[in-house]
Each structure stands twice: as C-alpha cells, then as structure tokens.
Chains A and B, each alone.
Chain A
Amino acid sequence: MSATGIGAAVRRKEDFRFITGQGQYTDDVVRPGETRAVFVRSPHAHANIKSIDVSAAKAMPGVIDVLTGAQLATDKIGNLICGWMIHSKDGTPMKMAPHPALAASKVNCVGDAVAVVIAETVGQGKDAAEKVKVEYEVLSAVVDPAKAQAKGAPQIHPDIANNTIYQWHLGDAKATEAAFANAKHVTKLDIVNNRLVPNAMEPRAALAEYDAGTDNLTLWNTSQNPHVARLVIAAFVGMAPEHKLRVIAPDVGGGFGSKIFIYPEEVVCLWAARKLRRPVKWTSDRSEAFLTDAHGRDHITHAELALDGNGKILALRAKTIANLGAYMSTFSSSVPTYLYATLLSGQYDIPQIYCEVDAVYTNTAPVDAYRGAGRPEATFVVERLVEVAARQLNLEPAELRRRNFVKSFPHQTPVIMAYDAGDYNASMKKAMEMADVKGFAKRKREAARHGKLRGLGFSAYIEACGIAPSQAVGSLGAGVGLWESAEVRVNPTGSVEVLTGCHAHGQGHETTFAQLVSERLGIPFDSVSIVHGDTDKVQFGMGTYGSRSGAVGMSAIVKALDKIEAKAKKVAAFMLEAAEGDIEFKDGKFTVAGTDKSAAFGEVALNAYIAHKFTGAELEPGLKETSFYDPTNFTFPAGCHICEIEIDIETGKSEIVNWTAVDDFGTVINPMIVEGQVHGGIAQGVGQALMEGAVYSAEGQLVSGSFMDYTMPRAHDLPSFHVGLTETKAPSNPLGIKGCGEAGAIASPAAVINAITDAIGTEELAMPATANAVWAALQRATPRQAA
C-alpha cells in the first residue's frame, strides 16, 4: 500500500482552507449589489391568512420590496414537490398537498413563510419584517401523529381526509399471522422514535443572482445535491429552464440529510433576484433553522416478534405511524417506507415480516431524511425486540442473535432486500472481545459498590446503502435514478481533475477520491483535484446522502478510469510503435510486453493532446472520459455496537463508560476518515437516545427551538470510542465498498437503550432517556429505591 493510496490514512486535502479560516461557505460569498431577504413567518401552527398589509414595511428605511404569496402565485411560481410516489395498499396514490414557497391563504406550521422583505441589510430587513401586518384566523392544531387521524382532528389540507397521506404495507400479512399463531413466544413493544432536529452547524443559506443580459439565474446554496436542486427548481417549480439555471453548492457545513431537500427560501431568493434585478441573499439564523429545516424520525410503532421454543425467530410485524409534518418534503415519502420496512429483517433470518405504515400530516415542520433515514428506525425496532426477547427467554442477548444471524449469502429477506455479503458473527465476536464482555459482571459488581447501576447493550445493525440501482428504486416509486457520474480529465501535463456528481459536506471526498485516482494512475496524490458542487462545471449527478459516495460515486470514477486507461493504451501504442494489445499499464508506466520500451503516464497524456504520433483518422486526440455508473444492488454495511453505561441511582444520569463499534464497511479507502464518520454517527445516535428531542406544545409551538432548549451532544456528554473493522467485500461494485456515513447513527440508539434498560431492569424506555426519564423509570421499576 502506498502512503497515499487505497487504505492509507492520508491527511485531508480540504483541511488547510478550513483550519486557516479560508473555507468558502454560501454566506461567505458576496455579490455586487447584494440585498438581504428576511422572511415573515407564521407564529401560529394552523391559521387562515385573512389579510397581509405590507405598506408600513415597504416604507421602512433600506427596504427594496416586500413580496407575498399572492404575488408568487401571480408570477406562476410552482409548488415544491415530493419526488417519491408511494401508493397505499388500496392502490391509491399518496396525497400530496400543495406546498407554495410563500403561503398565500393558509399556514400549516409555525415558521411557514407568508412574506419576504428584501432590504439593503439584514437589520433593515428585520425591522421591516416586524411592520408587516398579517391578520390570522387561528385554527386548532394537531401535532401528535397518533392523534392526526382521529375523528374530529383539525383537517390540515382541505381535500385530504384524516390527514392521511398514505396507508402502505410491505410483506405477507397472512403468512406472518400464521407464523405468529404457531409461535411459542411473542415479544411486544410500543416504540416512539423521537423527533430530531438535524442541526448541521452551518445554517442553510441561499444567494441568487440574475443576469438580465443572458437571462441566466445563479443560485449558491447549502445543498448536498445541486443538480437535483436545479432539476426540481427548473422542472417542477418552473423558475427557469434547466440550462438557464446554475446551482453552486460551495463548502457546505454539514448536511446529515437536511440539505438534500429543496426549500422555499431558495425558490423565493431566485424569484426575488429576477424580479428586483438585484442579488438576494438569505442566511438562516438558528431559530429559523429549528422551525424550517426538515426534521427527522418521529415514528410511533407497535412491534411484535414471534419465536419458537428454541429462540428461533419466526416472524416480525410492525405497525407504524410516521409524522411527515405540514407538507411533504422532497423525499419524505420514501423514508418510513422503502428506507424503513425493507430493513426490518435486521441481520436475521426471519421467514415472515409484515409492516404497515400510515403517514400523516401534522401542524409541525416537515419531516424527511436525517442521517440513516428509516434505517435507524428499523434498527431500533429490531434490536429492541431481539434484546427484550432474549431477556424474556433467559437467553444471553448475544446467543439469541447468534442463533438467528443470516449465515449464507445471498440471502433474500421477505422485505425486498437481497443481502449479498457479510459475516455478522465475526463483527459481534470481535466487538465482544474489544468490549471485554466477559469482564462485565465484575465491573457491574464494582459499580454497584459505588452506588451505580451498570448495563450492557448490543446493537447488531444492518443498513442498505450504495443508494441505489435506478431500475429498482424506479419500480418502488422514485422519481429519479440513483446512479452516479464521474468525468476524469487528464491534462496535457499529466495532472488530473475528477468531476464528480457527488457532493462533500464534511466527508473528505477531495482526499479519498484523489487516493483512488492516484493509486490507479500511479500519479502523485497532489496531482489530482476533485471538482464538485457546480452544475456549470460538473455533469449531472445525484449528490451525496445514503452513504452512497464511496460505493456509487467512486465506482463511477473507476469506470471512467477504465476508459482512460484503454484510451491511453492506444496513445502509448502509437508512441511506442507497438500493438495496442501488447501495452501494459502498471505503477504509472506504460510498457510494451517483453521489451524495455516504456512511457510514463505524463508522457502519454501529453501525446494524447499534441497528437503528433497518430492521425485523426486513427485516433481522436485528448484524454477525458465520463462514466455514469448505475449500481446493480444496494450495499449492506453491518456491524455490532456495544454500549456500556453507568447510571447514578440518585439522579438517573447516564454515563457511557465504554463504546465499542465493529463495522463491516467492505473496502476502506481511508481508515482515518472512516473512523471519523463512525464517531460522528455514534454521537448523533447517542444524542437521539439520551438528550435530543423536538418537542411541540399542543398548540404547535416548538418548545425546544434553540440550543438552549434542544440538547445537542457536547464534548463532555460523550466518551472516546473504540472502533474496529471487519471486512467482507461488497460484491456489487468494483471496489468492494459498502459505505460508512450513517452506520453510527443507525446502530447507536438501540445500543444505548438496551444498555440502560439492562441496568435498570425495565423493558421499555422512551427516548430521549434523560436523567429525569431514567430516574422516573427507576422509581417505577424499583420503588424501594425512592429516597
């Protein structure tokens, strides 16, 4: 392995600009004559708009204009859409309510924008926004998904009965019922997967500029997928034709899913910039982000696991209500369906699975994909059921898992997925060794002597990444294909630019993608640049989410490199006066088999461009190749996380005393970066399990609407993590990569709750398991300990 090749812990190319303050995030971009947009947002969760009076606001200093939803409609700016069609079990299509970028007649959640002030400065814009007079007729609201479908619940969208978007199912209901009828043991759980606010540290931002001379619009935005943003804004919103709209997502400060989606503010900035002939910038403040970024999770589930007398799982069934908020966000429909129920087999051989999902509207912010997206919810259901079942059956949790692991591949689950490679026991075994599970009983006794309760929790998760084979997702309702593109441009001097349709917002693609190219072409790591995030520079691509950039994005680069090598061999054959079939390429050198004739990669690159050794009839000059790679299967990263937790009996406060993660990500390009992804994922999952929760009041006010109310994990809330790897290659892509971006967030909530419930001896415990919640659970479980 070379110092910068595949498998090396290469330090990141992108770091220099970030550690010196020279990163270029959207809000750092300034255009001449730039104005600032400030949105007027609804303070009510549910209300009719009776009137909007902008006259006083328009008269304020520095105000250029104040625009409303009525004008947006007059200008025929289209609605935002959800791009994944789900059909209910009765065959009817999902009920997508209109989602205008500015509400004209009715608001459906707190933070819904009703007008926008365009001013010279943010301060002036905020002053003027306070002068916009909106008269509301306040309606009663519903925020709890369990109450959204009830008779008499407030109806949010006029033609959508019972606030129900779809009633979907997957699996064989009858066969599952029969399996339950034959079960010796059934474990039942009621589970709430708590609602989360993604909170990437960089708030969303958009800067739009219109060039009247060319009729071109440019949007700088905080996007994980600028091409998809352009497609939606062009084709559905109808802002401008695709070729007249350029979307640039420069440095983006974290996404975690929340920056996949197309948001109202981007649409409004574009519209206003063209209307007012001035660049328009909007930068969210954190309070706006809490109200308007798409939230994550928010499931209510009843789940059951059927087992025979030997601890063999016979079937699993689940009924879930998924809260999608006030409007259907860009990919919201897919999260509680094909990203959730398809993973309910976990790492286990489960003959029958049946899952029903009702998706509902509520008067809350839209809910969409957040790190893991459906798979954390599935893992939580499966791993909680398995853990509780083991305790009820008096089996070691590891033993129950071992008895049920999928052991031969390929393995077709009853819920669509075909697992292609893995060794689940190997990961669990290694994790148990690293976590010293054997020594746990002793540690538990020692903790008890200090008045502490200790618990151990496993989570043997699986996820489907490498999103995704286009035909497969198309058949499931996706409005797009999920291939990825790469263009490899070899320059005449032999340096290389790779244009990728993926987008990095913390993942380090500039480093890992360059490692691949450097190793494959035998050229210095520093001779490779990765270009992404600009629709004018890069061919269409699908962006980054779903741990897809390694498995799909790098596979596209491999395919383009194959073509580069093939073309370069033709050039080398002319240069070296040999038959093309005799040219070999290794370590950056082309040689003629059986001779000492050779040419370095750089010499061949130069010859490809000067084209002195061949005629145009024989070979086209140049050395640039493109590939659109469509995967043939999902990839299936899997592993085992073990959380050891200590609980203070007096306060209920949990302390994670040890965290072990052993993951099988297939091929690892850069272990340093992969470990970093695992750490960050675990932190988000621990945040969900112990402290995070978006709380709405019954009236629809977001009570946890700032960092003072919504508990983000801080350094002292977390331990250092012990991270290990096992490896089975993903057979479906040329590098054998499975993906690592979401694993930590998928695995960790179940490990934490399994550990706490192990410590305090309860079966159920809602997330977030705050000190208060754990203390209360302790009092219920062991009332004698109440002081």
Chain B
Amino acid sequence: MFTYYLRLAFKSIKRNPILSALMITAIGLGIGASMTTVTVNYLMSANPIPHKSEQLFYVQLDSWSQFEPAREPNEPPDQITWTEATNLMQAKQAFRQTAMASTGGVIEPTGQDDKPFMASIRLAFSDFFPMFDAPFLFGNGWSENNDTNRDYVVVISKATNERVFGGENSVGRTIRIVGENFRVVGVLDDWVLVPRFYDVTTGAFDETEEVFMPFYMKQELELSNGGNTNCWKSPEGEGFIAFLQSECVNYQMWVELRDQNEKDQYMDFLNNYVNEQKALGRFARPLNNRLSNVMEWMEIEEVVADDAQIMMWVSFMFLLVCLLNTIGLLLAKFTGKASEIGLRRAVGASKTDLFIQHLVETACIGVAGGILGLGLAFLGLEGIKSLYGEFVQNLVGLDFTMMASAILLALVSSILAGMYPTWRACNIAPASQLKSQ
C-alpha cells in the first residue's frame, strides 16, 4: 500500500501545484533558517577530538590577586604565568604535557623572487604533536631533547611548506624565521580543528598555526606575546626577563591523563605545587586549581557564543511559524479533498488507511521542503561566509550529518504539522460529502 500512497501523494501534489509549492516553500524557509543556525552551533560545539577528549585536560591555577578573582564568581585565570608553565613542565608529572603560547614572526623564503611574509607561530613542547594527534605529511615532531637543548627546529604547516619549499619534502632543510635559521623536522598535513580547542583564548575558530617551534624559543629569541596577556599586578622591573618573571598570564597548559587515578594524582601534585608557592609568598588566594577536559573547557570558555544560540532559537521560532502556516495550508488542501475522502470511506477505506495516506502525502511535502531547506541553508552559510570572511571558513559547511538532520527535521516537522489536518480529514462524515458533491 505504501507505493500506492506515494503515487496518490504525487498526484495530489500535482493537482494543487500552487498550494503545494506554498507549503514546500514554507517548510523550506523554516528548515533553511534553522539548519543554517543549527549548523553553525553544531560545528561550534562539536567535539574536535572525540576519541581522547576525556583524557586531555586544561590546567588552571589560581595565581590571581587575593582581593578579587580573575573572573566572577571565583574563577581562576584562563592562562598561567611563565613561571608556572616552566615549573609544571620541568616537574613532568603527567603522562604527556605541553605548555604553549602563540606568537608571530617573519619567514624569509630562500628564493630570490619570494617575498618575506608574516606567519603565526605556536610555541609548544614535543608532546604537543602526539597529544593532539597532529597529522604529519613528512617527518615528525621534535624530540624532548630538542626542547631541553633549545634546538632550532620547527614543524611547518602544509601551506607554509608549499609556499616556501614548493610542496617538496622539506624535512632536514633550513627555513629562516624571525631572523634565525631553523631545521625543518616535520611538515603537517591538512589539519582543520573546529574549534581549535588547544587555544581558545584568542580565536576558537582560527586556523592552526603556520609554524610550530619549541617553547623555550620564546625566551631564547625574546619573541613577542601573542593572544591575551592579563596581569593583576605590574611586572617588577623593565625588560623581557622581568615580564617573564611577572604574574602576567599568557601561557596555556595541557596535560594528558589516561584515567581517573592519574587525574587525581595530578590534581594532588597541582595542589602541592601551589602550597609550595604559597610558602614562597605567592598564590594568595585559597586553593582553586582546575583540570577541565576538552568539552568542559569549551563550555567554560563559552566557545559557542550566546548570540549564535539566540539566533538558533529565533530560527526555530521561525520554523514554528512556517509550520503553523503549513497547517493552515494543509487544512485548506484536505478540505478540498473532502469528497474524495468521503468516496474512499464509502468504498472501504478505514480511518487508519486515510490517516496513513495523508501522512505519506504530508511527509512527501516535508521531504521536498527539506531538500529546498538544504539549498537555502547552503545559501545561508555562503552568506555567513561572505559576511564574516575568512575566519569562519572552517565553521560553515554542511556535512552528511547535517544534511540528514535537515531532511529528518523537515520530515518530523511536516508530519507533526500534518497530524491535525490529517485527523480532521479522516473524521470527515462521508455521507455528507457524497451527497453534496
């Protein structure tokens, strides 16, 4: 019977093309608007490293002023100082760990025709690459010895490799960055992280950096501060070293802890560390250390912006209005079919038969609306790209899940919208319709 109902649905849709087009358009508009905002929210809040997001922890230590918290009500600062970054790294208490910072610098290609260009740089430790599953096209990350010895080694992005080395395997070759020669030890493959969770303090949806170099190069080359720098008191003294030794926070710290036991032990270590620092006259606030896994950290940092969520709810309201319109149109359509419904009842169709027949018709309209909505969502996302430019490139795009969700949402919405008109249609008194035609 299902194929019969499908055939009847197509005939019915063709019979009232304008009414059907209005319904499909109403559903399409609602689905298009909803899916545009849902897609943005979905990609914003997606788990960027699902297989180990429960094992990667962001470290927060409350080194802030005794008189006020870094953030109300009692939040520790979202970054740590150079002192803590280096101390925690030297303690090596986690299975893997990396402190990190962002900076930037000029790359000078060797070709005479190639101009120097600015590149984003991430300063990190060797564990960075295995911790965050960085994909390599050539070579690998640097070693722990490279960190300790402050060797001039780098990992570069695929785009940088193409720009400087024409895409060849550049492992072992020299690249000149910030006026120094570095040996390339690895070239990353395409690495799109949405959001770029390892540092959301600057731009959660920025691209991964063009160059990665050992953390201590910060001190070695006196590299500038990237991202946010916050201080609750001014550095004691002038110059780069004074800044490094200050209470200013500009560094992120991630650890990989494989189970609850390791997490508990690391938290004990952090508490002991802070207590030691308290004895030295630092850390005036009560113990307030935090270990947040990836998704918890995304939540704390409000990676999904409030206005994006508001837009999503507004678009759902719009979908609801579209569905209410569809209900009205369906009522009109099914009322127009009253004599046919009466006839079908007379020749043996039960109310259930008619209910299924009309729900199939509604579902067909819903699927058509869903397909139109997908097209509109695609246009909507393109519109967002053109409005907000490059930095949302990674954010907007319809994947299979979102496409399937759009069709499913359209199907469910239209069936829900069709329930009342269908119920009304099934309860039409056949006798009155058969006589009055």
Asked if A and B are interacting partners, one says: no
Q: Which residue numbers of A lie inside 8 Å of B, CB to CB?
A: none
Q: Which residue numbers of B lie inside 8 Å of A, CB to CB?
A: none
